[in-house]
Chains A and B, each alone.
Chain A
Amino acid sequence: MKDRILNTLDQLRRYALSKGYSVSIYFQEEDSSLMRFANSAISLNTNEHLIRLNITACDGRKRASYGMITDLSRVEDMQRGVETAAEMVKHSMPLTYESTIPVFREAFIDESGYDPSLAEMSNAEKLAFFNRVVADMESDEIKLSGVFSNGANTTAMVSTATPYPLYIKTSDAQVSIVLAHQTLKWEIQSEQSAQKKDELSADAMRQELSCLMSHYMHDTPQQLPLGVYDVVFGRAAIAEMLQFMSYIGIHGGLMKRGYSCLSKEDIGKKIFSEQFTLIDDPTRLETFPFRRDLSGMTRQPFTLVENGIFKGFIWMQDDADEFGEQPTGHTIPHLSLSMAGGSQAVGSLEDLFNQPRDHDLLYIPFLHYMNIVNPSKGILTSSSRFGAVLLKKDGQTIIPYNVRLTQSLLDIFGDKVDWLSAETSAYNLSTSYDARNPTAFIVPRFARVNGLEISHSNSSY
């Protein structure tokens, strides 16, 4: 298949050259499967095989693009797509800056992230995985929900600037298992991300759910008083906040447009906790990385924050062109963020729950429906979900109804950080609003942040 893809793209590239067009052609193929569970049944079992082609034509400072869902047998349709983009660009309007078209200096073929045994897992294997995780946990009251999403994703690109292609193929899986009480409405969850099949562990998910279940089945739910809490965030919450930091923190183009809580003056300054180190690390296969970006730049680990000191913004090619900056190799569908672990040997829920403590700790594994209240101050708001627990300093545990936090990223990753787990792992942030785009960040298992205010506390789940 790889050869067929590359030959087709080369054919299109030659076609564009023969017509005198300046184009880049982006190819994406997904073979996606999703088994979804609800009410302890498979509620949806679906697969989609889709090939997308996006052609961007440039003419001086003008550019236009044409996208299509197609298949490799329809070369004439694709050529018509090239013609459409070339026709559209004639009627476009010049940009106020020079726009760089992708230049691939050498062929780059990367299939190191592809594991066919993960991409092609059978329906029966996926069902067996789920059944093993939740064996004996379901009842008339406790129902299973979740997803097992797996597939293969191929990205390829050529431009008329050089004959060399970019080709990256990955496999990925995102597993989420939820157990929910039908009448009490509590929900607990375990999640896993995998780039290759042997990263999946039904036992680890089962252990996590069992631990939460033992508390949720026996402890009394409670509406927490509003006020200030020492909070331990789980990996889902940490990854979600980093995702927002990638928009309203470290993104150079958005900073220039006023949507960032960081400024150029912050570069080189200690902005965050000394324990906070953040790298965009395309060497980590667990993050489904792009080791070349879509403008042709080689990508290496890129330090964003080192021991609290902000090192610099990321610049996509188009933003760099517009604002006169140097691109940093971040013209990519997703980042490969890796947040360094700390020194705390707390690698599991049992470790956290059994740890001696001098204060009450509010464990929040997951933050639901996060949104930006004030980008220039880095303020986000979100609600707890999926298995929060109040760990009392006397050793007792209380199950809290969901609570809302409205806080600044500058505080959450700032001096309020108490400790970070030494253990880190990949957390899967993939969404599928459009094309498959497997995304995961490496984050510590837990992060304790002291003195955060709870602004709303539910009286039920």
Chain B
Amino acid sequence: MLDQIKQQISRVKALGASYVDTRWYPVEETNSLLMWNGNLKESSATFESGLGVRVLYHGAWGFSASSDTSDLAALYDRALDNARIASERLSLPVRLAEKDAIQAKFVSPNKINPFEVPLSEKVAFLSEMDKKLDQPGVTQRASSLTFIRKQIIFVDSEGSEIEKVITEVFAGLEVDGVDSEGGMYERKFSPFRRGDSRGWETIDLQHFSENAERIVRELNDTLNADPCPVDDRSVILLPGIMYLQTHETIGHALELDRILGYELAFAGGSFVTLDDFGKLRYGSEKLTARADATLPNTPGSFGFDDDGIPAQDNLLIDRGLLVGAISGRQMVEEANARARRQIFHGSSGANRATSFYRVPIERMTNINIDPGNDGTLEEIIRNTEKGIVLDGDRSWSIGSNREQFHFGTEAGWLVEDGRVTRAVKNATYKGATLPFWNSLTAVGDASTWEVYYVPNCGKGQPNQIMQLGHGVPVCRFDNVRIGE
């Protein structure tokens, strides 16, 4: 197959294409199990294979994909035809940033292949968790396991040939309960990064059991709590909600395709402009954010992106100052051309597609906030006069240019004069992105820093779901509206 792919790439190149690449997925398989209130509602497996072909012709992209590999020539011709028609409406011809031709292989770290674990063992784990969650106050309980394995072979007309074998494990627990007024509340658990691999070995019964007990306890605390007051306070975000704040108001806002207007028809744009790089004070001096695809053992580290660019660790925000973006080969060239200055020096290696039948676009890698010097969670609480500690994502809604947001959380605890006083229910907060990040007054130390795995970030047309990570500490922001 690989020889046939290379022949087709050469043939289309000879027909006038300036660049051709192919992502061949010999195998992509998933295994999902969901136990809900004691019923194994889902026990499913999937298998996919196919090719996606990208052709650059006269400065325009064409793409075609199929699971049917019996007529490769037709598939490549279709991609070329799509590029030809696209070249009829062109404003700025696509140019790709320089890169090296690479022959390499990346295998994500796992010790026990989850696809070799017997189904009965997975069901037994979920049954055990279901029993742990079946407690007073819990009206709905769910436990889930999702496994993904992809083999991706990337070949391009510039001489790169890269094989990636990526295995992902996602697991989660959720409990819901209803309060005396009929309001439904939830509490979830999905594990942060643990250890140096993410195979079946991460499904640690003891760890999950302890957290099952914790979320049941915290759900009951919420059900019996008073409503969150409408108030302006300091909010102390634990990693279970801090990851989402980072994801939505730094990650998406700094995707270069959004900044350049490539998502205006759907997902939206960004308040950030090209003129802002190197000038915009995005947050307080306590804020340093990076896109780190070299962080070991997370879904945001994948060796090479779908342009064939090696993983990198790039600063996005340096002590409050905006300095970088999440980018691929096309967008950095276009950004530099439009800005008429060299803002970016090569791709940041963040162009990824969710499957063989989708085209690569700018996606987050691991969008992280560096740990700070403001101590442990306990020390941050002790130094907070009037605040609220928040954790868990319940709802999120963000403005189309990522300029403002409204988040609902699963758990909130009021802080008065340096100590936690009581839980509250329906704890929400909202704000405008830049004032919010500029109100960052405390960043927890390394003891508070956790890597959260995101299994389902959505973007693009046709839509794509992507897996990634966020390494974040506990952070405190002042004068934030809560409770609306």
Contacts and interface: CB of A to CB of B under 8 A. Distances in A.
Nearest to A457: B404
Contacts of A66: 44-47
Given A38-B261, A38-B262, A178-B264, A68 B47 contact: yes
Nearest to A461: B401
A374 B410 CA distance: 11
B123 A185 contact: no
B400 A42 contact: no
B271 A145 contact: no
Interface stretch (A92-100, A197-205, A281-289, A292-300): A92-100
A4 interface: no
A263 B430 CA distance: 30
A67 B44 contact: yes
B39 A46 contact: no
Interface stretch (B4-12, B58-66, B290-298): B58-66
A337 to B, nearest CB: 21
B206 interface: no
A124 interface: yes
A127 B266 CA distance: 19
B264 A96 contact: no
Contact of A41 (B89, B265, B399): B89
Interface stretch (B196-204, B279-287, B456-464): B456-464
Interface string A84-107: 100011011101110000000000
B91 interface: yes
Interface residues of B, number: 82
Given A42-B90, A66-B44, A433-B463, A368 B399 contact: yes
A224 interface: no
A64 B39 contact: no
A11 interface: no
B400 A385 contact: yes
Contacts of B41: 318
Nearest to A377: B183
A50 B184 contact: no
B118 interface: yes
Nearest to B86: A42
Contacts of A214: none
A37 B85 CA distance: 12
B271 A460 contact: yes
B123 to A, nearest CB: 5
Contacts of B464: 433
B266 A147 contact: yes
Contacts of A369: 268, 397-400
Contacts of A455: 406, 430, 484
Interface stretch (B76-84, B311-319, B369-377, B437-445): B76-84
Contacts of A73: 68, 70
A39 to B, nearest CB: 5
A189 to B, nearest CB: 8
- Chain A interface SS verdict (over half): strand
A365 interface: no
B127 A373 contact: no
B91 A40 contact: yes
A316 to B, nearest CB: 12
Contacts of B67: 49-51, 69-71
Contacts of B183: 374, 376-377
Contacts of A460: 271, 403
A455 B119 CA distance: 49
Given A34-B461, A88-B43, A431-B463, A383 B400 contact: yes
Q: Which of A43, A381, A431 has the most CB of B within 10 A?
A: A43
Contacts of B180: none
A207 interface: no
B176 A258 contact: yes
A267 B125 CA distance: 40
B471 interface: no
A411 to B, nearest CB: 15
B408 interface: yes
Contacts of A88: 43, 45, 119
A49 B461 contact: no
Contacts of A182: 261
Contacts of A385: 268, 400
Q: Which of A51, A149, A381 has the most CB of B within 10 A?
A: A381
Contacts of B484: 406, 455
Interface string A400-438: 001010100000000000000000000000011100000
A187 B397 CA distance: 19
B123 A91 contact: yes
A258 B138 CA distance: 11
A161 interface: no
User: By CB atoms of chain A within 10 A, which of B39, B64, B430 has the most?
Assistant: B39
B118 A257 contact: no
Given A93-B123, A145-B265, A375-B184, A127 B461 contact: no
Interface in A31-69: 32, 34-51, 62-69
Given A41-B60, A66-B45, A369-B397, A92 B40 contact: yes
B123 A124 contact: no
Given A45-B62, A376-B182, A376-B183, A37 B139 contact: no
B61, B89, B120, B178 interface centre (most CB from chain A within 10 Å): B89
A145 B400 contact: no
B109 interface: no
Nearest to B435: A459
A49 B68 CA distance: 9
Interface string A189-229: 00000000000000000000000000000000000000000
B403 to A, nearest CB: 6
23 contacts: A34-B461, A34-B462, A44-B86, A45-B86, A46-B462, A48-B66, A50-B66, A50-B357, A81-B47, A92-B43, A96-B38, A127-B85, A185-B269, A257-B139, A258-B139, A258-B140, A371-B396, A371-B408, A374-B426, A402-B399, A406-B484, A455-B430, A456-B404
Interface of B: 35, 38-50, 60-68, 70, 78, 81-83, 85-86, 88-92, 118-120, 123, 127, 139-140, 176, 178, 182-184, 260-266, 268-269, 271, 357, 359, 394-401, 403-404, 406, 408, 426, 428, 430, 432, 458, 461-465, 484
Interface of A: 32, 34-51, 62-71, 73, 81, 84, 88-89, 91-93, 95-97, 123-124, 127, 130-131, 143, 145-147, 149, 176, 178, 180, 182, 185, 187, 257-259, 263, 318, 322, 368-377, 381-383, 385, 402, 404, 406, 431-433, 455-456, 458-461
List the 4 closest pairs (A to B, CB-CB), nearest first: A42-B86, A123-B85, A91-B119, A45-B82
